[in-house]
Structure 1
Amino acid sequence: MKLALQGENFLTNNDVRQLDRSYVFHSWSAQGNLNPLVIAGAKGCQLWDYDGKKYLDFSSQLVNVNIGYQHPKVLAAMKAQLEELVTIAPATANLARGEAAKRIVELAPAGFHKVFFTNAGADANENAIRMARLYTGRDKVLSAYRSYHGNTGSAIAATGDWRRVPNEYSRGHVHFFNPYLYRSEFNATNEQEECARALQHLRRIIECEGPASIAAILLESIPGTAGILVPPAGYMKGVRALADEFGIVLILDEVMAGFGRTGRWFAFEHDDVVPDLITFAKGVNAGYVPAGGVLISEAISHYFDDHFFAGGLTYSGHPLAMAAIVATLDAMKEENVVENAALVGDGALRAGLNALSEKYALVGEVRGVGVFQALELVTNPETKTPVAAADMAAIKLALTEAGLLSFVVENRIHVVPPCTVTADEVKQGLAIIDQVLGQFSGLVR
């Protein structure tokens, strides 16, 4: 194997790809025919490979690199923490952990007092479910079919998409349909009908499952992987009211939508609701070190003052991850990163996506908020027939070859650049999407 910077022997993409294919087992994949993209480095919203090809990131990897790559303040904080204390058990008190929790609580709505740290978003949802069950003494968890909550036991069972089916080992999970007017399950013709009918549907699920058996409703504030499904006005308040009526804990999953992605610190702020538990990960430190957690409201926090919490993780509040959180949140405030996500996302980015929708019949719908946008692609605007999987794979490949990293799910291009993206970078990325959509416009019949 060649080593970089040893005389004239530099690593190539092929060297790294062969190493990967020899030893790495990839997630959500059949392993035999993988040909992974090779990345050597990154800065800001730009990445490059070992052969010198550059990419603009419109995926934020897995919608987590909110502050962009290699932010100097975050790197400096991580280096300082490495020198001071690289790891410590979660039962100890640690300065970085306390400072990270304090900053997160300060961003939360009034009435949130504590943070339980996890390693990622999946185990954040696991532990929020555990808290709700212990707090209520009930078992069932209601979640949406159009959702993704992670790939651990209860989190994947709570997930609504197809990945749930081969992994349903956890008990007590019930699913319902959340709003999605473009493909309404309720024969709705407008947002008001979709909202009212979706809430009535949820009420009936609660009544039929038995309210006294339901511990929690778990919802993404804006379902991300399922399609960036911005809820209609009034829906989230209606869910909050149902939870209150039946004594159910409301858990809002902010793993993908939180920490600036929608132009607010939390996506639920757009709907003026306050949950009982908030799960987070990804953008809290832009994925520089794995971290997640549960923000806990006062009532639930106080319950565990004298009730045993049966949960814990070796790396809960790992100092290096906590230092990255502190530096990320401080830098985002100092540099107005959340405001930039709103200004650029709801401005130049959304305007450009709307223009593409007007230009190409291939674009069935544009939806989203901030730098959390999606293009849904169809082969017939009247029947809304989704573009086939093979064609979407070809579109993704064409975007990559043109120098744009995209987040493609089913028949959608999720347009989710870092929250630091500039108007010029938006213009560059939109031009590539325009070029590729033009290449595939013949898919429309």
Structure 2
Amino acid sequence: MSPIDVVEPQSSNKSEPLTSQQVVDLTRQHNYGTWRFQKGWNPMHIVDAEGCYIVDGSGKRYLDFSSQLMCSNLGHKNQAVVEAIARQAQQLSYAMPGYATTARAELSQILLEVLPRGINKFFFTTSGTEANEAAFKIARMYTGKSKIIARYRSYHGSTAGSIAATGDPRRWAMEPGGKGPGILFAPEVHCYKCPIKHTYPGCGIACADYIEHMIRNESDVAAVLVEPIVGTNGVIVPPEEYMPKLRRICDEYGVLLIADEVMTGWGRTGEWFAMNHWGVVPDILVTAKGITSAYVPLGLCATSEKIAEFFQDHYFAHGHTYEAHPLTLAPAVATIREMQRLGLVERARELAPYVEGKLRELKAKHASVGDVRGKGLFWAVDLVKDQTTKEPFNTYSDKVSGKPLLVDQIAAKILADGVTIQAWVSHFVIAPPLIVTKEQIDHGISVLDKHLGLADAAVGQ
């Protein structure tokens, strides 16, 4: 056979389309369900999504009350983003990272409009965890130091470095080796249930002082890594003084501040990025999810000018095949322009008091609701056995041991009523697309209200 001979494929009868149940069965049989025991996994078959709704294989619509994984900020099937993906696929579907592309230049240009001032050098990835890996490498190369201080009740990704820097029990399965060298953990900043038993504001922000103590007593701390508002682990909002104080501490000791804004970026909290709430600019900002509204996988590790300048004369020892993949960059440009056109950052800010009011009514009504907290369109509803002791119904140990969780039972009932909501150990995350209406907010909260009786009945048991 010559090199130019073409072999025609054998003809075959067109197979019948899969039924919805076949899709579910094949998925269960041949795919891993993430962060769970595989036994009992029964994924819902999703066939369509538009606006604030997703549609299952039977045609039933569900209000997406957590933007799937707190990532579909723009809502589903935005035509400007869909068309940007199609145009880029037709024009240039791939270029290796060593080439310049129009999509890369356009995204770099528009990022300068929305990122904190002074954050202006970019490394593109295909996920938030890869962006964090890049941040760790950059911090260590820049400082010549190795240790990174993260916090408990944090999540930074699933790859080797980022899972090692994750404070929550998703790290446990990888230990002892998975913790990795050079990762230290500090207490989270959680005024509702302070892990070091202090009371705000009289504490003087002791959780930040604790990090300073760690830096003083470690030989080579390269960076402090924080989620500005803790995401999956409870939408934990720090007090106003925390971030400015942490910034001063990092500056005093020559330590970089890394802000993991994978979940809190892109208007979710009522600012383009959550760090803006406190007027604090990190040295490295990591983000993903909402940068394309999750239409395509894209992450970003963005650094300050001083770090960029360092690598003019120092070897940048990082890269991968899909860095700056043009098919991921073009929809990011479209997403940002749509967010600007629709005023979605401002919308999240304006809707925040409305959501907060509704959730505080929920807390007043239900004995099982210990706390509600959040910013913008990013909120948590925390369930407790006792509002005084703040004891949760379930703990991380229950989750990793396979014990049924009360929040999962409630979420299943909410799903049956046509609303999807993210449940995690002992709380719900409420983070609808930023295009959500007040009527949709009312509906989602009313369905949650309806099924919290299951938790109320278990109070005190």
For Structure 1 versus Structure 2, the TM-score category normalised by the shorter chain is over 0.9
Measured in 2, the distance between the counterparts of 1:223 and 1:193 equals: 22
Determine which of 282, 290, 300 is the counterpart of 2:289: 282
Paired position in structure 1 for 2:428: 413
Counterpart of 2:212 in structure 1 is 203
Give yes or no for the alignment of 1:119 onto 2:126.
yes
Percent identity between the aligned chains? 38
Partner residue in 2 for 1:174: 184
* Alignment deviations for residues 402-443 of structure 1 (CA, whole Å, 9 cap, x no partner): 111111111001111111111111011111111111343211
How far apart are residue 169 of structure 1 and its match?
A: 5.1
- The one-letter code matched in structure 1 to 2:456 is S
Alignment match, 1:349: 355
Task: Show the 5 A alignment for 1:41-440.
Answer: 41-167=48-174, 168=178, 170-190=180-200, 192-194=201-203, 196-210=205-219, 213-344=220-351, 346-388=352-394, 389-440=404-455
* Structure 2, unpaired ranges of 5+: 1-13, 395-403
Q: Counterpart of 2:293 in structure 1: which amino acid?
A: A
CA distance in 1 between counterparts of 2:454 and 2:194 reads 30
CA shift for structure 1 position 194? 4.6
Give every structure 1 segment of 4 or more consecutive aligned residues whose post-TM-superposition deviation is greater than 6 Å.
none
Output aligned runs, 1:3-14, within 5 Å.
11-14=18-21
* Structure 1 letter corresponding to 2:365: K
Cα displacement (A) at 1:166: 2.4
Of residues 83-92 and 96-105 in structure 1, the stretch that sits farther from structure 2 once superposed is 96-105
The alignment of Structure 1 onto Structure 2 pairs a total of residues equal to 435
Measured after TM superposition, the shift of residue 119 of structure 1 is 1.0
Question: What secondary structure does 1:294 align onto?
Answer: strand
Distance 1:143 1:169, change over 3 A: closer
Superposed displacement of residue 181, structure 1: 1.3
1:11 to 1:387, Cα distance in 2 relative to 1, 3 A: same
1:150-204 CA distance string (max 9 Å, x none): 01111111110111222225311000002111111232233x2355211221111
Aligned to 1:3: none
Give secondary structure in 2 for the equivalent of 1:86: coil
SS at match of 2:35: coil
Question: For residues 194 and 387 of structure 1, what CA distance do their matches in structure 2 show?
Answer: 28
1:347 Cα deviation from its structure 2 partner: 2.8
The aligned residue for residue 443 of structure 1 is 458
8 Å Cα contact 2:152/2:187 also seen in 1: yes
Q: What CA distance in whole angstroms lies between the structure 2 residues aligned with 1:10 and 1:352?
A: 44
How far, CA to CA, are the matches of 1:20 and 1:385 in structure 2?
37
TM-score, length basis structure 2: 0.92
* Whole-Å separation in 2 of the counterparts to 1:254 and 1:194: 27
Q: Letter of the aligned partner of 1:398 in structure 2?
A: K
Q: What 5-or-longer segments of structure 1 have no aligned partner? A: 1-5
Q: Residue type of the partner of 2:210?
A: H
Say what the alpha-carbon RMSD is for the aligned residues: 1.5
For residues 358 and 25 of structure 1, what CA distance do their matches in structure 2 show?
A: 40
How far apart, in 1, do the equivalents of 2:155 and 2:70 lie?
A: 13
- Secondary structure in 1 aligned to 2:26? helix
The alpha-carbon deviation at position 69 of structure 1 amounts to 0.6
Q: How does the TM-score come out when normalised to structure 1? A: 0.95
* Equivalent position amino acid for 2:48 in 1: G
